[in-house]
Amino acid sequence: MEIIVIIVGALFVLLTTYFIAFRRKRTVKLTADEYNLLMRRKFDNYDLRSFLVRGDFNTTFEAFDHDRKTTVALRILDHSKIYHDQIVQQFNLKGEMLKFLAERYPGERFVQGIKFGTVKIEEEPRPYIVSDYVQGVGLHDILDRYGRLAPRDTLEIIRQLGESVSLAHAQRIWVREIAPQNVLLTLNPARKLVVTLANVGVPFKSLPSEFSAEAKKGYYSPEDRRDELVDERSDVYALAALTFRMLQGYDPSARETGEPWNDFTIPLEPSLADEPHLRPANVETFLRTLTGLQSAKSATRLVAWDREIPRVIAKRVKMKIKRTDAEVIEQAPARRRPAFAPVSSQTKDRFIVSFLTGLFVTFFMWIGKKIEGVLASPKKFVLGLGVLLLGAFVALWYFVYSPERGSIIVKVDALTNKTPPEAVKECIVVIEARDEKSGTLAPVRLSSDYADSGGEGRIVLRTSRRGKVLVDYKGHFDRQSTLLTLTAWKNGEFMEGHMTKRLAADDIVAAFHLRPERTGMISVTVSDTRRLIRPGVVPPENFSLEIIGTGVSGAPLGSSKFWFDNTMLTPAGAGKAQTPDQKFTLESRHQLRYQIEDSATVTLAVRGSQNPVLELEVAPSKWKIVQPNSSLASVVSLRKRSSSEREVFLFQVFDEDGSPAEGLEMFLNGQSIGKTSAQGKVDYPVFDVEGFWGQQPTLTIDLHPYNTNWNLSKEYPLQRKENAREFQIRIADIRPDN
């Protein structure tokens, strides 16, 4: 029995050794947003297939384009940047520049097939840039594998890259993104190395973050890091820094003070000068300084590109991904390696394999002894079988009847001009799990380190110093019909944010970007600035204000609140409210107070009673709220109606003989609209047709001139007919004695 166990253990160890030593997959950590996008798969007309590379502002995925029926590279702006207007504008500008270079220089110098735009994912805008997929590898993958390259390989890469940069300079475009991650290596049909520039930079007010500035310190020129003007000599610095990285195995920023230049790096010294005027004037001059590398001798082996590029691509296909809760994962710069290199990865693998071999052999020998003892005694055999069945029952119960469980992570950031966005601490977060059909709370237990819902599906928490809330959930419920409603706000500082997600995944990640709260007052004065009220002109009896609050994107803001003369207005829709009717009194003053998010727009519209000559207006009618506690002023006044805005209704009266009735005064809802002409007609201008029919118009006619025994006629309700503007009334139908 022991021999059988040892053989099984040995086979297991051999398989383990094979997978560790030969089938080991590279593991890449993804942010929560990157992981969710990849698991979601669908992005507009694209199917995401795998992660490719991460930049400062965006992540690139391999995707399939259903419209073009081909594989593409899809860059998606990071979730933490989508509400920063400047970053979104710069990202779109990058797309325009890449598209211009691709159309200007078709071929292999620049990535081709550029398309950019914005799609909505879970009601959030996600800007993206699409390009043709290059069947190759990034220079950073090669440097991660080899550390450094031979001078001849370095010269070939820099020569091709420099030619692409020169073409961009010819169009007055400074690349500013010359780094290993933005250089693609592929093979042409002749199996020769081809270098493609995958990215260009655009001027930002500052580098993305302190960590990014440190990571790219070796490639950004000193004037670029100081936010000064850049030109082609800045790209010369970046090309020289990249050459240094390939030759030495670490970034120029890791050079020690006073470190001497060696035979390979001496030609790079002028190009890496801090002052731009000390560098070569253009890329062509810089490339001529590197001709000595062609014949330089080095212990570093040349790379067999026709074998190495397919090998790296194959490893990327086997890559594993790992989800993290981090919102940003930065790439550290390449540093100088220590004088005594650590143990190589191959040595580590051999040690691990040897250790596991001994461990598993010992374990299976112990198991063999235990099994031999159990089989020797019937009682022990029955007991062991019972334990085995009990374990199988427990496992079956766990997998079949165990409750649904997972975690909810809520991140709250302040949507201001600061980059990266600041976390909002002590922010109130309300999480509710509700049944989609009935709207009642679902039987879900929500719990955190500080609170527990007790199974009612609702919990209220406050964010930590990092602006986060972590909640575990558990319960027996239908994932597909359970909605998660999340609300976040901070009284007096940030406006309320709402979000709804389906509780379909084990881990739910939600990110709020709250704008600061702005409060203030708009003073509303009623005035006749044009002096239109005079004898014979009847002003409107009353008026009301319609208030609409919209965000930066133009969408209504449901969280906005308004008060009119210290009375809170009831919402009349998303971001909309209307005041009660106010008496139209000249020089009267009213106060409209608001509570709305920063950079929002408050739009005013005035409504008043029907008047055929005058109409109401409010000016200014739009206010952009950017200052806290600001006091603004608008005026409600009168203006003449435009004749082009009106429609004329015609009323004609006939006597009992069928002839036109002349000289009869006509009243509409009790208000005189004139006397009938010789043709028995009265013209009535209507400026608001919907408002006219909304008041249920009724005609009455003074019949005393027609018959001295009669006074007012019976009421004649007007019936609305499509496109009907003429009405004929017969006295026989409205006689008061009928």
Rounded to the nearest 10 degrees, the angle between the axes of helix 2-21 and helix 345-376 is: 160
Q: What's the rounded mean pLDDT across residues 395-419?
A: 77
**Per the domain annotation, does 204 fall within a domain?**
yes
Both tokens of 710, joined, read: 């009669």
pLDDT at 337 over 60: no
pLDDT at 720 over 60: yes
Both tokens of 702, joined, read: 């003074």
- 221: Cα separation from own chain's centroid: 31
CA–CA dist 215, 205 (Å, integer): 18
Domain that holds residue 255: 27-323
pLDDT at 72 over 90: yes
Does 490 lie in the same domain as 382?
A: no
Percent of the chain beyond pLDDT 90?
Answer: 15
pLDDT digits (tens, 9 = 90+) for 545-576: 889 988 877 778 877 889 998 888 888 777 78
Place of tokens 């006073």: 258
Question: What's the CATH number where 281 sits?
Answer: 1.10.510.10
Q: What's the rounded mean pLDDT across residues 394-403?
A: 69
Helix and strand counts by DSSP (H, E) for the chain: 14, 37
Q: What's the rounded mean pLDDT across residues 658-667?
A: 87
Cα angle vertex 666, ends 663, 668, to 5°?
170
Residue 712 DSSP one-character state? B
Does 242 lie in the same domain as 220?
A: yes
**Per the domain annotation, does 336 fall within a domain?**
no
**Per the domain annotation, does 4 fall within a domain?**
no
> Residue 332 has what pLDDT?
54
> Residue 219 has what pLDDT?
79
**Per the domain annotation, does 334 fall within a domain?**
no
Does 107 lie in the same domain as 91?
A: yes
> Residue 375 has what pLDDT?
66
**Per the domain annotation, does 110 fall within a domain?**
yes
> Residue 341 has what pLDDT?
39
pLDDT band at 646 (very low <50, low <70, confident <90, very high): low
Does 418 lie in the same domain as 374?
A: no
CA–CA dist 715, 705 (Å, integer): 18
Does 81 lie in the same domain as 205?
A: yes
> Residue 83 has what pLDDT?
80
Single out the residue in 377, 402, 427 at which a domain terminates.
402
Give the global pTM. 0.54
Does 525 lie in the same domain as 454?
A: no
CA–CA dist 445, 407 (Å, integer): 11
Does 134 lie in the same domain as 261?
A: yes
Tell me which of 670 and 463 has the higher pLDDT.
Answer: 463
Is residue 175 within 8 A of residue 231, CB to CB? The reply is no
pLDDT band at 73 (very low <50, low <70, confident <90, very high): very high
Q: Which of 381, 415, 379 is nearest to 490 (CA)?
A: 415
pLDDT digits (tens, 9 = 90+) for 341-358: 344 444 455 566 667 777
Question: What's the CATH number where 589 sits?
Answer: 2.60.40.1140
Other CB atoms within 10 A of residue 487 CB? 16
Starting at the edge strand found earlier in the chain, the sheet holding 567-568 runs 567-568, 561-564, 589-597, 517-526, 630-640, 614-619
Is residue 500 within 8 A of residue 523, CB to CB? The reply is no
Question: What's the CATH number where 696 sits?
Answer: 2.60.40.1120
Kindly report which listed range (16-30, 288-302, 441-455) carries the lowest average pLDDT score: 16-30
Backbone angles phi, psi at 365, to 5 degrees: -65, -40
Is residue 635 within 8 A of residue 527, CB to CB? The reply is yes
Both tokens of 70, joined, read: 């081909």
Single out the residue in 621, 641, 661 at which a domain terminates.
641
Single out the residue in 514, 540, 566 at which a domain terminates.
514
> Residue 342 has what pLDDT?
40
pLDDT at 37 over 90: no
**Per the domain annotation, does 501 fall within a domain?**
yes
pLDDT digits (tens, 9 = 90+) for 285-322: 999 988 888 877 777 788 888 888 888 887 776 677 77
Kindly report which listed range (175-184, 201-210, 263-272, 342-351) carries the lowest average pLDDT score: 342-351
> Residue 249 has what pLDDT?
86
pLDDT digits (tens, 9 = 90+) for 492-501: 788 888 888 8
Residue burial 41-78, b: 16+ Cβ < 10 Å; e: rest? eebbebbbeebbbbbbbbbbbbbbbeeeeeebbbbbbb
CA–CA dist 237, 475 (Å, integer): 59
**How many domains would you assign to the chain?**
5
**Per the domain annotation, does 12 fall within a domain?**
no
> Residue 215 has what pLDDT?
46
pLDDT digits (tens, 9 = 90+) for 143-183: 888 888 988 999 999 999 999 999 999 888 888 888 888 89
> Residue 286 has what pLDDT?
92
**Per the domain annotation, does 81 fall within a domain?**
yes
Tell me which of 381 and 445 has the higher pLDDT.
Answer: 445
> Residue 430 has what pLDDT?
92
Is residue 303 within 8 A of residue 149, CB to CB? The reply is yes
CA–CA dist 656, 661 (Å, integer): 9
Intra-chain end-to-end CA distance of the chain, in Å: 117
Chain mean pLDDT for the chain: 81
Tell me which of 93 and 357 has the higher pLDDT.
Answer: 93
pLDDT at 658 over 90: no
> Residue 239 has what pLDDT?
93
Does 596 lie in the same domain as 482?
A: no
Tell me which of 676 and 573 has the higher pLDDT.
Answer: 676
- Is the sign of the CA dihedral 104, 106, 111, 115 positive or negative? positive
Does 437 lie in the same domain as 375?
A: no
> Residue 678 has what pLDDT?
86
pLDDT band at 211 (very low <50, low <70, confident <90, very high): very low
pLDDT digits (tens, 9 = 90+) for 499-534: 888 887 778 888 888 888 888 899 999 888 777 776
pLDDT band at 26 (very low <50, low <70, confident <90, very high): low
pLDDT band at 71 (very low <50, low <70, confident <90, very high): very high
Does 624 lie in the same domain as 537?
A: yes
Tell me which of 325 and 693 has the higher pLDDT.
Answer: 693
Does 67 lie in the same domain as 159?
A: yes
Does 248 lie in the same domain as 116?
A: yes
> Residue 339 has what pLDDT?
39
Q: Beta partners for 73? A: 62, 131
